[in-house]
Amino acid sequence: MIVDLHCDTISEIYKKTGLTLRENNLMIDIKKLKKSDVILQCFAMFTHLKDVSEPYKYVNALIDLYEEEIEKNKSDIDFAKNYSDILKNLDNNKISAFLTIEEGEAIEGSIEKLEHFYKRGVRMMTLTWNFENSIGFGNKRITKNGEFAGYVPDIENGLKPFGFEVVEKMEELGMIVDVSHMSDAGIYDIIDMSKRPFVASHSNAREVCNHARNLTDDMIKKMADKGCISGLNFYTEFLSTDFSNRERKAYINDAVEMLKYMVKVGGSEFVALGSDYDGFDDTLEWKDASGTKDLIDAMEKEGFGHSLIENITYKNALRVIKEVVK
């Protein structure tokens, strides 16, 4: 069984005419999820602030589409707003659809709009994407000759005053705080203030792959101490920097090595899966969500024990959902 903490599939369906969740040419559709025995898929409503002038309106439109697609496919997939819903869907042999937001500016600086999204079924939200917003900061964007050239860690700018309010309200509501894309300083702010476990839904280890989007060993240890989890991101740039003698793509061996390291630093209850399917264009050795099960085979071959594989693939994620979501 597999729980995946992050994908951008609904946003891709929204942008491309004629696609459906039932079957498509994206990395995720219902048929692909069933092939890998995915029991819960988190669907992120993603907003790119450079392209969207009214994020609140835009995310509501994405949720409308999400609800339409789930309703059309109720024989195979159903909404899950809490742990009990997940168990009910399991009993009915259905995939659970878990609604999330990627880019906290969807609430446009308003606690009332945060509450609105909770009422619509949102149960997890990334506080920032790659830009500063009313909640806080992502890591610093750098440019060369006027062109975007990557990110460097921001250890000075974290949560804004409104951001602290948002985290407190999310914990009160029972909405999972997601720190993927948050600045280093922001992650430490949340480590210091949080009263409940939070997640980095799609982030890896910086020590293995030196990218600002990944977590430092110190972050991993401090998050693990608080019962938090991080979902393994399948994006090539976050798995490896070594492509001098091989094709640039996501390799299963790189994913397994990343998992081994994250378990070594954070322990067996820290690591989960957060594919980021349909959030990047790079190719995968296992192609798409139908091949996620191949990762389990690779873990078994590398000597991962049965209980550890269960923790990584679904138990750690379900523990946090059960503990946080009301």
Question: Tens digit of pLDDT for each residue in 106-130?
Answer: 999 999 999 999 999 999 999 999 9
- What is the per-residue pLDDT for 71? 98
Mean of the per-residue pLDDT values of the chain: 97
Residue 242 has pLDDT above 90, yes or no: no
pLDDT at 144 over 90: no
81 SS3 class: coil
The pTM is what? 0.97
Please check whether residue 279 is in contact with residue 236, taking contact to mean a CB–CB distance below 8 angstroms.
Answer: no
Q: What is the pLDDT of residues 306-321, one digit of tens each?
A: 999 999 999 999 999 9
Residue whose tokens read 């309200």 = 169
Q: How would residue 172 be classed by pLDDT, with cut points 50, 70 and 90?
A: very high
Examine the pLDDT at 195 and tell me if it is beyond 90. yes
Q: Given pLDDT bands bounded at 50, 70 and 90, which one contains residue 244?
A: confident
| Nearest alpha carbon to residue 20 among 5, 9, 35, 36 | 9
The pair of three-digit structure tokens given for residue 314, joined into one six-digit string: 């679904």
Range 2-324: architecture per CATH: Alpha-Beta Barrel (3.20)
Q: What pLDDT does 146 receive?
A: 81
Cα–Cα distance for residue pair 13/8, rounded to 1 Å: 9
pLDDT at 9 over 90: yes
Give the model's confidence band at 150: pLDDT under 50 very low, under 70 low, under 90 confident, else very high. Answer: confident
Using alpha carbons, select from 229, 164, 191, 9 the residue that is nearest to residue 100.
9
Give me 273's structure tokens: 């899966």
Whether 175 contacts 122, CB under 8 Å:
yes
pLDDT higher than 90, residue 148: no
Cα 179–Cα 48–Cα 99 angle in degrees, nearest 5: 55
pLDDT for res 149: 84
Residue 143: predicted pLDDT: 85
Residue 11: strand, helix, or coil: helix
- The pLDDT of residue 263 is 98
Domain boundaries, the chain: 2-324
In 3D, which of 153, 155, 162, 113 has the Cα closest to residue 133? 162
Which residues lie across from 124 on neighbouring strands?
Answer: 100, 176
pLDDT for 288: 97
- Judged against a pLDDT cut of 90, whether residue 147 lies above it is answered with no
> 32-41, 148-157, 231-240: which range is least confident on average?
148-157
Check whether 245 has a pLDDT greater than 90. no
pLDDT in tens, 25-68: 999 999 999 999 999 999 999 999 999 999 999 999 999 999 99
pLDDT at 214: 98
> In the numeric block, which tokens belong to residue 78?
């159903």
| Whether pLDDT at 15 is above 90 | yes
Written as one string, the DSSP assignment of 271-297 is EEE---BTS----BTT-SGGGTHHHHH
| Most confident listed range (81-95, 148-162, 240-254) | 81-95
Q: How far is CA 211 from CA 231, 237, 257, 285, 293, in A?
A: 16, 8, 16, 21, 26
Q: What Rg do the C-alpha atoms of the chain give, in angstroms?
A: 18
